[in-house]
Amino acid sequence: MADADGNKESVEFHTNIPQKTEGFFLKGSNSLEWGMKDRLARIFNPKSGRTVMLAFDHGYIMGPTSGLERMDLTIVPLIEHADCIMCTRGALRSLVPPTINKPVSLRYSAGTTVLTELNDECTMNIEEAVRLNASLLAVMVAVGDKFEGVTMRNLTHAVDMGTRYGIPTLGVTAIGKDMARDSRYLSMAARVCAENGAHVVKTYFCEGFDKVAASCPVPIVLAGGKKLPELDALTMAAKAMDQGACGVDMGRNVFQSENPVAMLKAIKSVVHENETPKKAFEMFETLKNEL
């Protein structure tokens, strides 16, 4: 118990300096609770306002994807270079060292594989996400798909449960089989996720991406998609940043690269330092021979 007698009297009230009331740096996040903001500030760098997330959750629907056959050998050495990791609870418990000290975007929905019909998903328990110290709950949302209702309920459930514990939700827009990957569809999917409570949205690049980003009231992170030549992937990332994305959440374009560490560093230079794709590619070429 603190001593009651002999304490130094308070004198430094600085009555001439008003206490600052600062806004939160991330789009659409100012009214969130402290715990949510703390988790988001661990994912998004408060200086650049952006993030480079490394996604390796593919196994939950695809099994041992190329580059992810032995995640202990290919992914674990990459983690230190990412701002945040996106993975399943299975990968986290079995392979990711608990000493990494990186925020985790936890794959919170799970379901049918590529062998059957995709997107028939459910969610895990919130206590499990809390136990794993998740910073973000990643939920697939299939707007316009047969499983739209199921996945929207999953999103709503994740937002409700996450809000109870101060964990934000990432709405991951799935592309329905018959949907065009265009700005009309993607802006609708992103907006629907945000309006239903997602704190961050992951979606694809398209012509008119600036409209997708502008009409989404929360930060958008760019989904990578299938492996592209490195210069093309860097160009796509740079265009997305110019047009309003707040970072990337990439998997195959990193771990299927000729040199994943070099590629991750080149992507970071585009995302955090606004490096041009040409310069970032030169950086990749130099680093790939050194690392």
| Given the residues 202, 265, 268, 288, the one annotated as active site | 202
User: Which long-range CB contacts under 8 A does 221-224 form with residues at least 24 apart?
Assistant: 221/51, 221/53, 221/170, 221/245, 221/246, 221/247, 221/248, 221/249, 222/247, 222/248, 222/249, 222/250, 223/172, 223/173, 223/249, 223/250, 224/55, 224/248, 224/249, 224/250, 224/251, 224/252, 224/253, 224/254
Total site size for ligand 5RP, rule CB under 6 A: 12
Taking the alpha carbons of 228, 233, 236, 241 in that order, is the dihedral positive or negative?
A: positive
Rounded least distance, CB 101 to ligand 5RP, Å: 21
Indicate which single residue of 32, 36, 40, 55 sits in contact with ligand 5RP (rule: CB under 6 A).
55
Indicate which single residue of 37, 58, 157, 288 sits in contact with ligand 5RP (rule: CB under 6 A).
58
If one asks whether residue 57 binds ligand 5RP (CB under 6 A), the answer comes out as: yes
Please check whether residue 64 is in contact with residue 116, taking contact to mean a CB–CB distance below 8 angstroms.
no
If one asks whether residue 91 binds ligand 5RP (CB under 6 A), the answer comes out as: no
Please check whether residue 267 is in contact with residue 235, taking contact to mean a CB–CB distance below 8 angstroms.
no
Compute φ and ψ for 249, nearest 5 degrees: -130, 85
If one asks whether residue 223 binds ligand 5RP (CB under 6 A), the answer comes out as: yes
If one asks whether residue 155 binds ligand 5RP (CB under 6 A), the answer comes out as: no
Indicate which single residue of 42, 252, 268, 272 sits in contact with ligand 5RP (rule: CB under 6 A).
252
If one asks whether residue 86 binds ligand 5RP (CB under 6 A), the answer comes out as: yes
Closest to ligand 5RP by CB, 181 or 211: 181
For this structure, is 20 an active site residue?
no
Indicate which single residue of 92, 104, 158, 172 sits in contact with ligand 5RP (rule: CB under 6 A).
172
Span interacting with ligand 5RP, options 25-33, 69-77, 229-237, 244-252, rule CB under 6 A: 244-252
CA distance 231 to 241: 15
For the segment 20-49, give every residue that binds ligand 5RP (CB under 6 A).
none
CA distance 195 to 217: 8
Indicate which single residue of 28, 144, 166, 225 sits in contact with ligand 5RP (rule: CB under 6 A).
225
Rounded least distance, CB 251 to ligand 5RP, Å: 3
Question: Which residues participate in catalysis according to the annotation?
Answer: 202
Point out which residues bind ligand 5RP (CB under 6 A): 55, 57-58, 86, 172, 223-225, 250-253
